[in-house]
Amino acid sequence: MSPDTANSYRMGPDERGHFGLYGGRYVAETLMPLIREVGAAYEEAKNDSAFHEEMGRFHKHYTGRPSPLYCAERLTAHLGGAKIYFKRDELNHTGSHKINNCLGQILLARRMGKTRIIAETGAGQHGVAAATVCARFDLPCTVYMGSVDIDRQAPNVFRMRLLGAEVRAVESGSRTLKDALNEALRDWVANVHDTFYIIGTAAGPAPYPEMVRDFQCIIGDEVRTQITEAEGRLPDTVVACIGGGSNAIGLFHPFLDDPDVRIVGVEAAGHGLESGEHAASLTGGSPGVLHGNRTYLLQNDDGQITDAHSISAGLDYPGIGPEHAWLKDVGRAEYVSATDAEALEAFQLCARLEGIIPALEPAHALAWVIRAAPELPRDHILVMNLCGRGDKDVFSVGDALGIAL
């Protein structure tokens, strides 16, 4: 049954990896057999309780799950409206939600007998998480990273190297995340037999959008249990930032069939949507095909991909996971945006009021919360995914505020 006609929003994708018009497998023939092999292996693993048990053990003892659901009382009082909870995925090992996905994929790679791991990274959070699981499972790891990002994320580059990964600078194209993805795909084409590609977000050719979503759904599943314990009911609103969209789909998906739960994704508006310098593919882009899937893209009239801009390197991507594209079109989720300046404000407010330095990525979600919460009643329960911690961002925030560190 196609997701369009199902009476559930959680049925997708179809057997060919499509979410309505979006998703699919747009890759060169060389990769097709391998992608299909990954799909088949994932189907098998998904239905194997031993796979889930092993993953569960690592979630608990290595990652530190479940992450807390924390009532942000001072922020709630400050904004004077909705009751705000943070899902504390920034407390995970490696400091973000990225480890949820890397753990799942490396266990799959091992099942498939692959002996080498590649990954792409923008801000370095996914690269660090991939390098971490590779160290833990003793597999060589090559991380592709745009040379522009290497310059602005030096601490994460060093972390990856400490963890034993090789970081390869990408000099092609705009030398950022999208080019790192291209280069990782090129590596994969040339090393199809021994290499597993750990994609960092819920995008790329099928089965990646579905697989990464499934690995991230632990976020939303935990929230359901935790908010029911805390409040005796489901939240009224769930909100998350969106770059590729993996933390957001992980929070959203378990709530898609609860019609009373409002779902809000916050994209990076950079200098503002009207400036043309942003990373808001859904609110400021159009459908196209890139990196193996059809989705919303930042592109010009000729179908050439244009550069994204965001103060947050983790949101600085001209595409978006295909399931979000579908959820936008069918209207189940709302997609809004927050600018660099709003995210910077939110970043500082959170540090001062809650004693939590958020990553710049969830600071975008928080910026929307700051806008929306005062207009909502006090019995409105809002859960925001605090998907990463901000230690990595202190230098760029210092720069933006004109403070030399």
Partner 1 sequence: MSRIAARFSALREGGRAAFMPFVSGGDPDFDTSLAVLRRLRDAGADLLEIGVSFTDPMADGPTIQAGGARALAAGMTTKRVLDLVRAYRAEDDKMPIVLMGYFNPIYRYGAERFATDAKAAGVDGLITVDLPPEEEDELRGPVERAGLDIVRLVAPTTDEDRLPLVLERASGFVYYVSIAGITGTRSPTMADVEFAVGRLRRFTDLPVAVGFGINTAEQAGAVARVADGAVVGSALVREIGAGGPDMLDRVGALARELAGGVAGARA
The vertex-318 CA angle with 184 and 178, nearest 5°, equals: 15
Q: How far is the CB of 192 from partner 1 (least distance, A)?
A: 5
Among positions 89, 120, 179, 361, the unique one binding partner 1 when judged by CB under 8 A: 179
In the complex, least distance from residue 41 CB atom to partner 1, rounded to whole angstroms: 16
* DSSP code at position 358: B
Q: Applying CB under 8 A, does 113 fall inside the site for partner 1? A: no
Query: Packing angle between helix 125-136 and helix 154-162, nearest 10 degrees?
Result: 10
Between 49 and 193, CB nearer to partner 1: 193
Smallest separation, CB 43 to partner 1 (Å): 17
Which of these, 236, 263, 228, lies nearest to 376 by C-alpha position? Answer: 236
- List the interface residues with partner 1, window 149-178 (CB under 8 A): 172-173, 178
* Alpha-carbon distances, residue 116 vs 30, 37, 131, 154 (angstroms): 18, 16, 12, 24
Kindly state whether residue 2 participates in binding partner 1, applying the rule CB under 8 A: no
Q: In whole angstroms, how close is the CB of 54 to partner 1 at the nearest point?
A: 29
Segments of 2-103 assigned E as strands: 18-19, 22-26, 69-71, 83-87
Burial (CB count <10 Å: 0-12, 13-18, 19+), residue 116: middle
C-alpha–C-alpha distance, residues 175 and 171, integer Å: 5
Nearer to partner 1, 27 or 249 (CB): 27
Closer of 115 and 228 to partner 1 (Cβ): 115
For residue 186, state whether it binds partner 1 (rule: CB under 8 A): yes
**Which of 149/342 has CB closer to partner 1?**
149
Query: Per CB under 8 A, does 330 bind partner 1?
Result: no
Min separation Cβ 236 and partner 1, Å: 39
Strands (E), 122-172: 141-146, 166-170
CA pseudo-torsion sign 291, 293, 297, 299? positive
Does 292 help bind partner 1 (rule: CB under 8 A)? yes
CB of 36 to partner 1, least distance (A): 8
**How far apart, in Å, are the Cα atoms of 150 and each of 162, 288, 376, 397?**
15, 28, 41, 17
By CB under 8 A, what part of segment 14-43 binds partner 1?
16, 24-34
295 by DSSP, 3-state: which?
strand
The nearer residue to partner 1, 228 or 286, going by C-beta atoms, is 286
Which of 103, 100, 102, 114 lies closest to 41, judged by CA? 114
Question: Applying CB under 8 A, does 288 fall inside the site for partner 1?
Answer: yes
**Shortest distance, CB of residue 301 to partner 1, whole angstroms?**
7
One residue of 53, 274, 301, 379 binding partner 1 per CB under 8 A: 301
CA 335 to chain centre: 15
Nearest to 153 by CA among 177, 133, 132, 172: 177
Range 262-281, binding partner 1 (CB under 8 A): none
Using CB under 8 A, pick the residue from 182, 216, 246, 247 that binds partner 1.
182
Q: How far apart are CA 303 and CA 219, in angstroms?
A: 35
Strands 18-19 and 22-26: antiparallel
Which of 23, 127 has the CB closer to partner 1? 23
116 binds partner 1 (CB under 8 A): no
Size, binding site for partner 1 by CB under 8 A: 36
- The amino acid present at 147, given as its one-letter code, is S
Our CB check for partner 1 shows the closer of 20 and 265 to be: 20
Site map 303..322 versus partner 1, x via CB under 8 A: xxx-----------------
Contact footprint for partner 1 (CB under 8 A): 16, 24-34, 172-173, 178-179, 182, 185-186, 189-190, 192-193, 287-292, 297, 299, 301-305
